[in-house]
Amino acid sequence: TMKRFRRHGTESQRDRLKQELFQFTKTVEHGFPHQPSALGYSSSLQLMAIGTRSGAIKLYGAPGVEFMGLHDENAAVTQVFFMPHQVELVTLLDDNSLHMWTLQSHKGLSELLEIGRFLLTGPPGYTDISVTRVTAVLTHSSGELLLLGTEGGHVFIVEVPGFRELEEMNISLDQITSCVPDDYIGRRNLEHVEALQENPVNSNQVAIGYGRGLMVIWDLDHRCAIRHIPATQQLESMWWTEDGSCILSSHNDGSYCCWTLRTGDEREEEEKSNVPYGHFPCKAINKIVQLPTAGGPPFLLFSGGMPRASYGDRHCITVIYSKTQVAFDFTSRIIDFFVTRDGPQHTVFGEPSALVVLVEEELVVIDLQTEGWPVIQTPYLVPLHSSAITCSHHVSAIPLKLWERIIAAGVVQNTQYSKKPWPITGGQNLAPDPPQRDLLLTGHEDGTVRFWDASGVCLYPLYKLSTAAVFSADADLNDNMSQGAEGEWPPFRKVGCFDPYSDDPRLGIQKIHLCKYSGYLTVAGTAGQILMLELNDEAAEQTVEAKIVDLLQGQEGFRWKGHTQLDVREEPVLFPPGFQPFTVVQCQPPAVVTALSLHSEWKLVAFGTSHGFGVYDYLQKNNVLVKCTLNPSDQLAMEGPLSRVKSIKKSLRQSFRRIRRSRVSLRKHHISNTNKIQEANARLEAEQAEMEMAPVQRKIEARSSDDSFTGLVRTLYFADTFLSDSSHNTPSLWAGTNGGTVFAYILYIPPVEHRADEALTAQPAKEIQLMHRAPVVGIVVLDGHGAPLPEPLETAHDLARSPDLLGSHHVLVISEEQFKVFTLPKLSSKMKLKLTAVDGSRVRRVGVAWFGSSRTEDYGESGLVFLTNQGDVHVLSLPHIKMQIRYPCIRREDVSGIASCVFTKQGQGFYLMSPSEFERFSLSTRYLVEPRCLVEAPLP
């Protein structure tokens, strides 16, 4: 009993320590919200609100000021409105529910909270659902009333924040129709309420716009119609000018009208209907805004209105000021836009300063005060997915020198942006400065690598590297294809960076490894290309040396049916300042690179594909090792699986590309092309439905050496450890395959003085075939203290303790199914932890992290962090591989989210919660990057 008691004591001690080391928090979402559906703006708070189709609501102000809320209902947010001069906002969902949110201060920080919800029922007697379906919302400047226009044509008035229906104030359709002028086209049905506007100079007057076209000015005090504006085209939007003298209406046929309201005169005057892109039929103008300037003509801005036949598929906002007119051409659908104003205290009547446009895939902000209306770079909401993300790589604690050089390289690339500061400035960012400089590198389908500042709450773009210049592309893509030619009408200008169409999928980046100490970078791609790059502050013209590596090693009888290898340019190429390639290794067959590791101290890069792996010496530009891992009976690995899997995607991409070309050359045919997309989509959906119909069956079979892709290299690892005997440590390379095999090689690296000329060799030393044959996803050598070996050059830069070379080393082999520790150099099994056999989950992503105690500064320990296919994150202790914690993190259905996860060295992680957003989470009590901000209510 004594023993039991004691053990209990140590266990509870360990439990307490766990609480000090680990906690799971989802901290912040980076990137651009998936499927945004509504935009709102408060000029008094200087805050912007974005609602999404999944019911999320996100608020953004000054960089670092952000809030997130989620509606319980799984319904799209269709409209968002801030209550004027208040910290409340109202959302309308497509289930017709209204929600009131507020920014509440708590311990000096603001929180976004839902404080009320409301479903319009209408007075008794209204039974038809459509009668109370809200189509237009007006937040009255009094801050006490909501006007809700409905599908039935009624306007209901609700008192807020309590959501009390003021029945006596309702404006019923009957009241309106009874006084419609007789000459208004036979007094037909007015249809739903399309728009509601308040008179900026008289808050008692509101304009009600009906779908049919009729607009009515209603006096809220006297409860009567003052005026009727008999527009006859389907109404799209309404705008009451700031001086209260005019109402602009925009219509379904691409026209807009300006109705002058003269006081004392009963008859309003219609200026002639204006069709800005006229002659031929035009698409609707969805929204129109007119803003005065102090000393000149007003700004007129409207979305849509393009000639239906030739440019009906464009997403444009036209800005007209004086003689200047530009049709900003976006690459995705426009959700909404607003214009920020400046001037004293950001009063409503300040000068227009920036046009803020929310399109489906990005936020674009255009500086209206600088000549040429340049784009302002967004500090947040950056579309991560401007080309689809194919991989990511996180590097913690970047040395200042490298950081500054990367920023400098990025500045050169961003000269086209406006110099104006970010125009949305609400709230105060109270988060402490990030403790260190962190980089997140994302690889993209188009062959680019983007460098992001991931130190703080805003994931800010620093620099973009393009690898495409190394290769001669099939057809040189002209990026200015859709750029407006001189005198072209409409005067298009392409804006935004969302461009998901990769012209050569072989360029796609699959693996990235950056050495933060040396500034060497290696990236590997879809067509077996491995590029070695070095950071250079100057532009340089150089020839990139290509080296072909035959991974089949003479195995015969195979025919690669996948894509061909990329052609490396033979002539010198001018590379801008930044990371410049100096060598490219090309695997043969050109299969996708599945593993990559860089050792900048030894100047070696290891790479692997489904056929084998190799080690390349980038100093001598020579191959040190090639090993074929291919099972001779594995035909599938030979055929190039990508060519099959991607075929549907490819055909879709091609059809998109055709459309894009047709915009320029074959304008008349593009409608049929749009139909083609619809057909293709319908076909895809049908295929999907068919797959869902088939009964789900799973084969139960032991893995065998004859399974497909057993030779696929999953992980590569360099280590200085004891591989041949227990008294001499040597450089080594470890490789793990899909079939559960681990290969270990001893590397002979000449002493520094002969490093450039003496030959390097690699000797096979050990081979482990795991009996369970599950894919090996990670290999870590633990030193005599049980600590993971430091990174290359880490000890040389005095940033890590030297590894303990006296005690015995161990190697931890992580397969998808279990964790196993072997002694070195004997490789006898020391301990193991089974995962899949016990709970059916499999390791998907793994990393080593250091966890500091929240209680005391000087205690910390290393842990193995991993994510399973069930979406749970776990931490295992090292070196004892004991389960510490487990938290659900990602939905298990979210396969791409799970596949995208990366861990940082400080126990944080990132995963793609949608194609355009990273969710950031932390398992550490000490390292948390989360928004901390305060928004104060504006003074009355």
Partner 1 sequence: MFLSAVPQPSVEPRSRMSRQSQQQHRTPIRHIDNTVEVKSKFEAEYRRFGLKRNGFGGFQEFYHLLQNIHHIHGVEVLLEYADIHGDLLPINNDENFHKAVSSANPVLRIIITKKEGDSIVYTTNSLQRRRKGLGLTGLRPAASSSIHSKNKSGLMIGPPQDFRQISSIIDVDILPESYRRVRLHKYGSKKPLGFYIRDGVSVRVTPQGVEKVPGVFISRLVRGGLAESTGLLAVNDEILEVNGIDLAGKSLDQVTDMMVANSHNLIVTVKPANQRNNIAPRGSKNSMGHSGSVGSGGSIGSALSHDSPSPASQSNPITASSSIAEGDSYEEDDDGDVILENDCLSPNKYFPITNSSTLNRDSPHKGQHSTIPQSVSMPNSLGASLSHSSTMMSHHNGGSAHSVSSSQESMKEDGNVITL
State the residues that interact with partner 1 by CB under 8 A: 553-555, 625-628, 631-633, 695-703, 705-706, 710, 724, 739, 741, 746, 761-772, 774, 817-818, 820, 827-834, 836-842, 869-870, 880-883, 892
Asked if 519 and 553 count as a contact pair (C-beta separation under 8 A), the reply is no
Q: Which residues, 6+ apart, have CB-to-CB distance to 231 below 8 Å?
A: 213, 214, 215, 249, 251, 257, 259, 270
Instruction: Count the Cβ atoms, other than its own, within 10 Å of residue 181.
Output: 9
Nearer CB in complex with partner 1: 559/699:
699
User: How near is the Cβ of 556 to partner 1 at its closest, in Å?
Assistant: 11
Half-sphere exposure for 136 (CA within 13 Å, toward CB): 29
How far apart CA 591 and CA 642 sit, in angstroms, is 8
User: How near is the Cβ of 254 to partner 1 at its closest, in Å?
Assistant: 52
Tokens 């070196």 correspond to 879
Nearer CB in complex with partner 1: 316/595:
595
User: How near is the Cβ of 356 to partner 1 at its closest, in Å?
Assistant: 44
Nearest CA among 353, 328, 326 for reference residue 342: 353
Identify the three-state secondary structure at position 438: coil
Count Cβ atoms within 10 A of the Cβ of residue 468 and give its class: 0-12 exposed, 13-18 middle, 19 or more buried.
Answer: middle
Nearer CB in complex with partner 1: 235/824:
824
Nearer CB in complex with partner 1: 186/695:
695
Q: Residue 244: what residue type?
A: G
How far apart CA 473 and CA 3 sit, in angstroms, is 72
User: How near is the Cβ of 699 to partner 1 at its closest, in Å?
Assistant: 5
Nearer CB in complex with partner 1: 606/768:
768
User: How near is the Cβ of 620 to partner 1 at its closest, in Å?
Assistant: 15
- Torsional sign, CA 860, 865, 870, 871: positive
- Torsional sign, CA 748, 749, 753, 755: positive
Nearer CB in complex with partner 1: 665/697:
697
User: How near is the Cβ of 607 to partner 1 at its closest, in Å?
Assistant: 16
DSSP state of 129: G
User: How near is the Cβ of 903 to partner 1 at its closest, in Å?
Assistant: 22
User: How near is the Cβ of 684 to partner 1 at its closest, in Å?
Assistant: 24
Nearer CB in complex with partner 1: 6/880:
880
Token pair belonging to 574: 């001018």
User: How near is the Cβ of 899 to partner 1 at its closest, in Å?
Assistant: 15
Token pair belonging to 240: 């009451």
User: How near is the Cβ of 712 to partner 1 at its closest, in Å?
Assistant: 14
Sheet holding 872-877, edge to edge: 843-852, 860-868, 872-877, 883-888
Helix or strand run (H / E) with residue 2: helix 2-21
User: How near is the Cβ of 826 to partner 1 at its closest, in Å?
Assistant: 9
Nearer CB in complex with partner 1: 695/940:
695
User: How near is the Cβ of 850 to partner 1 at its closest, in Å?
Assistant: 22
Identify the three-state secondary structure at position 659: helix
How far apart CA 310 and CA 671 sit, in angstroms, is 9
Identify the three-state secondary structure at position 935: coil
Helix or strand run (H / E) with residue 645: helix 641-645
Nearer CB in complex with partner 1: 841/914:
841
Identify the three-state secondary structure at position 690: helix
Nearer CB in complex with partner 1: 415/697:
697
Q: Beta 545-550 vs 578-588: how paired, if at all?
A: parallel
Nearer CB in complex with partner 1: 220/824:
824
Nearer CB in complex with partner 1: 486/556:
556
Nearer CB in complex with partner 1: 583/869:
869
User: How near is the Cβ of 4 to partner 1 at its closest, in Å?
Assistant: 16
Identify the three-state secondary structure at position 755: coil
Q: Beta 520-525 vs 509-514: how paired, if at all?
A: antiparallel
User: How near is the Cβ of 776 to partner 1 at its closest, in Å?
Assistant: 11
Nearest CA among 112, 30, 38 for reference residue 914: 30
How far apart CA 601 and CA 595 sit, in angstroms, is 19
How far apart CA 734 and CA 782 sit, in angstroms, is 14
Asked if 295 and 245 count as a contact pair (C-beta separation under 8 A), the reply is no
User: How near is the Cβ of 707 to partner 1 at its closest, in Å?
Assistant: 10
User: How near is the Cβ of 864 to partner 1 at its closest, in Å?
Assistant: 14
**String of DSSP letters for 322-374:** TTEEEEEEESS-EEEEEEEEESGGG-TTSEEEEEEEEETTEEEEEESSSTT-P
Instruction: Count the Cβ atoms, other than its own, within 10 Å of residue 521.
Output: 26
Nearer CB in complex with partner 1: 257/813:
813
Identify the three-state secondary structure at position 5: helix
**String of DSSP letters for 837-883:** HHHS--EEEEEEEEEE-SS-TT-EEEEEEEEETTSEEEEEETTT--E
Sheet holding 439-444, edge to edge: 389-395, 439-444, 448-453, 460-466
Nearer CB in complex with partner 1: 338/613:
613
User: How near is the Cβ of 879 to partner 1 at its closest, in Å?
Assistant: 10
Nearer CB in complex with partner 1: 581/731:
731
How far apart CA 656 and CA 327 sit, in angstroms, is 23
Nearer CB in complex with partner 1: 4/106:
4
User: How near is the Cβ of 700 to partner 1 at its closest, in Å?
Assistant: 5
Produce one character per residue of 220-257: b if its CB has 16 or more CB atoms within 10 Å, e if not.
beeeebebbbbbebebbbbbbbeeeebbbbbbbbbbbb
Nearer CB in complex with partner 1: 469/628:
628
DSSP state of 297: P
